[in-house]
Structures are given as structure tokens and as C-alpha cells.
Structure 1
Amino acid sequence: MSVNTTTPAEADEFWLFGYGSLIWKPPPHYDQRIPGWVTGYVRRFWQDHRGTPEAPGRVVTLIERSYWRQLTDHHDSAPERVWGVAYRIAPDRVDEVKEYLDIREINGYTIHYTPFHPAVSSSSPGLDPVDPSVMPPHHGPIRTLVYIGTPDNEQFVGPQDPQALAEHIWRSEGPSGLNRDYLLELEKALDALSPDSGDEHVTDLSNRVRAIASREEEQQKLKQNTGQTDSILRAHTPVNVSPDLLQQHHHEGFRKAGSIDEQEETEKKF
């Protein structure tokens, strides 16, 4: 027999759990924001939601842990707690916020309810500057609404190779912005909640995307340097020289320079 840990007043309240962009882009008209976690789920970048129809991006969804255990996931571990933020919506604004969220979370997400475990009391320092008298501290789980992209919706992607997923996130862009910005903002937002709120799946993908950024930067520098060298050669080559001869001169010139340098070094020894 389950025990109801919420008071009658709390049962009438509307709370929303955010585990993705809602962490750093809160809904309107909230009067309390509490960090904490839910259990029984795994957070994964397995939902199409951003980008373009030709290159849809990836966002996080929650997978029931019992279902996730049946899958072959390259990230074969996941924290027991899925950290995020719960928002209490002002009672006279609930319908308005629900309509806003239905539009924001469209494209595969459906409404579910899950118990949320507050990490701190509502009046603890470090949270958003709200009036702590709005409600007393919670000592048990709060019933929260959560939007989840379940495996039976068309936008659900399922397990992917982490490197291929990171490459996909790197190159996807749409009306919501760069897909990689969503990933990196999520990592930053999670790290800010608690020393224990990190997510290995999110961190690994973020590290892979940063490595891709470094690779792209190095390739761009190499391309620029090559272009500058070709420009210098063209500036010092007669206009009637063919491109093939120019390319031959480009390679042989360095070999000749090397031979002269070697000759000069040899002469210095005698």
C-alpha cells in the first residue's frame, strides 16, 4: 500500500519538472524553482526535435529504466537519479502555462506525471529570488508534470553510436539555434545544480563535440595557411606560367631551398 506524502494543498498545486532546456530556459509565471531529481528513468539524446527536416537535431528525453535495460546502449551506465528542476506555476496562470508548454514541447512529447525529490528546501539560498513565504519547505516527493518522448513516437531515435551522435549534433542547426549549443548548455546547467547532478551521457557527448570543434579549427587554420602560401607563390610567378608548372615550382622550390641550406651548413664546417 502506497503512502501519500503530499498534503491536500500540495496535491492541488501545479508543478513542472524540467530535465532538458527547461532547466536554463524556465517557463513563464513560476513562483518557485527547486533543484532535485526523479528516479526510474534514464536521460538520453534520442529524440528528434531541432534542426531541419533534412538534418533533424537531437534533444533529450527520458527512458524508463526498465525499458532501457533491454536495449544495447553504447553508454551502458546511467545515474540512478535524473537531476533537473521543478517549477511551481502560479495558480491563476496554470492554464496559460500549459498551453505554452504544449506548443513548446510539441513534436513527439507527451504528458506524464512522476514524483520529484527536492534536493533543498524552497527557502534555501542560491535559488531564484522568490518569496520564501509563498509555500513551506517540502519534505517529501512532489507530484510533477513532465514531457517525455516515448519510444513509440515517430521522433524517437533510440540508441546510437556516441561519436556518430556527436557528429550529428555538431552539424545540426534550425530555428531553435545550433544543436551543439543545446547540448553544451545542458551540461553547464546540470553542473550548476549540484556536485552530484552530472550526467555521463551528456558529458561524454559534450567532450566529443568539443573535440570536433578543435578538429574543425585546426583544419580551418591549415586551409588558411595553405591559401596564404598559394597567394604568395602566385604573386611572385610570371602571369604566363601554367598552373601545373606553378604547382611543380611550389614543391620543387622547397626541395631546392633545403639543398642550398644544407650546402651552406656544410661550407660553414670547413
Structure 2
Amino acid sequence: MSTKGTPAQADEFWLFGYGSLIWKPPPHFDRRIPGWVTGYVRRFWQVRASQDHRGTPSAPGRVVTLITRSFWSQLTDHHDSAPSRVWGVAYRIALDKVAEVKEYLDIREINGYTIHYTPFHAAAGVDPSLLPQHGPFKTLVYIGTPDNDQFVGPQDPQQLAEHIYRSTGPSGPNRDYLWGLEQALNELSPESGDEHVTDLSDRLRAIAAREEKDGRDRSVSPELVMQREQQHHQQHHEFTRVCSIDEQEETERTS
């Protein structure tokens, strides 16, 4: 596990989630702020085959990672455009729980991911009193860089969609991860959609419709997808309530 950069605020610890962390939060957070980072592109180019994720060693699933825009611009990507902002969520972790949360995240994100620090921009309308400073602030983020052996790089979108549709693991079907990410992003802001995620989700829906028509798969309705995601989340964590300045946030802690 390597680390790039240094945090700017010694008295606060903020974590940026751009994948499943958006809807499956870390433990012990007391603030959740929607917003974005720049200089990166989000892609489903990371293998996930560990024992608690969306694939198996023989059939690894795919999850998102961030790659620098400068590196991405040198590649031949079938999705040849990307939003300038990568939307997600920043979580403030209670100071006395930072070490515990880092240990939890190192286990959760250790498969090919490294630690970086990047400026985070809060969405318009966020109460300034909830932020550590005026303007962007540093957040920790886990990124699967191109030099790790879990990084697969550009793929044909239809082949990638077919692979995601077929992959499954102890955390559930890989397609649930993709659809869960699409829904979570769309709920952040009218501007927070991601063309790469949306296109793959549309392709999966077309595959699901084809499979259902042929009578091979009747388990992919949106209601069942979210039910599976919620059940998996509840199996691994229990929730308590904590107070922020002017709202209550849902805090997850390890069981």
C-alpha cells in the first residue's frame, strides 16, 4: 500500500468515495458531503476477485478506479469522452476512529489500490459551516493505478458489459455494483452523472432484457437489485445515529 501526497488538515480526516463508498459508507463518519474532484477519469478498469467482492479468482469482476486524465488521454478508449468532474462523496471521520477506519479501508480496498490525496470541491448549496475551510480541501482516496496487476485498461464496452453481467462473487452480482453506482451518482446532483457508467448500465439493461425474454434470468429488476445491495450491506454492518451541525448522518460501524 503506497501513499501519494500529504493531507492538508492535521485536525480533520476526510475520505473521498467515488465507487461503492458512495452508497456503502465507511464506519464512524459524522459528515457526508457530495461534490467532485478534477484531474481524473472514472473507469471500470479494475479487476475485483477477492473473497469479499464481485468476482472469483477464475472469473474476476470489474469495479471502478480513477486514472489521471493526462494518462487516460494517451489511451485509445472506446468511451472517448469523460466529464471534467468526477462526482462522489467526502466523509469526515471522527478523529478518535481514524486509525480504525484506515485499517478497515486497507482491508476493503487493498486489492490493487493505493492511497492518494486530492482536492475535493463541495457541491453548490452545501452549508459552509460543515466544511473544514473555504474552497477545496484535501481528501484521501484509494486509486487502482495502471501499474498494479489488477488494472486491465481499455476494453470494448459491449464485451465489458457482458463480463460484468456474468460475474458474481460473495458480495453479490457484479451488475448490482454497476447499477448501484449509477443510481447513487444520479442521486447526488443533476450534474453528477457519468457517461461511462450510464452507457455500461444501459448495455446491461439490454442484456438483462434479452436474457429475461429468453427465460434465462428473472432476477434483475431494479427493486431486486437494490434489495440485494441493502441486504449485503446490513449483513456486514450495523448502524447508529450521530449528530452533525444541522442534520443527522447515518454512521456505519463494523460489527
TM-score above 0.5: yes
User: Normalized per residue, which structure has more helix?
Assistant: 1
Q: 1:176 aligned to 2:180?
A: no
Alignment root-mean-square deviation, CA: 1.8
Q: Deviations over 1:1-59 (max 9, x none)?
A: xxxxxxx9944210000000000000010010000000000000000013011110000
SS at match of 2:214: helix
CA distance 1:46–1:185, change in 2 (3 Å): same
* CA contact 1:57–1:169 (8 Å) conserved in 2: yes
TM-score (norm 1): 0.73
CA distance in 2, matches of 1:64, 1:142: 19
Aligned twin of 1:90: 94
TM-score (norm 2): 0.77
Q: 2:113 aligns with which of 97, 109, 113?
A: 109
Q: 1:34 aligned to 2:33?
A: yes
Select the structure with the greater relative contact order (CA < 8 A; seq sep ≥ 6): 2
Q: 1:159 aligned to 2:163?
A: no
Q: 1:199 aligned to 2:199?
A: no
* CA contact 1:74–1:161 (8 Å) conserved in 2: yes
CA distance 1:9–1:113, change in 2 (3 Å): closer
Deviation of 1:120 (Å) = 3.9
Structure 2 segments unaligned to the other structure (5+ residues): 1-6, 49-53, 217-255
CA distance in 1, matches of 2:101, 2:125: 24
**Highest CA radius of gyration, 1 or 2?**
1
SS at match of 2:153: coil
User: Normalized per residue, which structure has more strand?
Assistant: 2
Matches within 5 A, 1:77-156: 77-120=81-124, 122-123=126-127, 135=130, 138-156=133-151
Deviation of 1:122 (Å) = 4.9
CA distance in 2, matches of 1:86, 1:175: 27
Aligned twin of 1:246: none
* CA contact 1:11–1:143 (8 Å) conserved in 2: no
Aligned twin of 1:226: none
CA distance 1:28–1:100, change in 2 (3 Å): same
CA distance in 1, matches of 2:69, 2:189: 22
SS at match of 1:95: helix
Structure 1 segments unaligned to the other structure (5+ residues): 1-7, 125-133, 222-270
CA distance in 1, matches of 2:125, 2:84: 21
CA distance 1:9–1:215, change in 2 (3 Å): closer
Aligned twin of 1:251: none
Deviation of 1:123 (Å) = 3.6
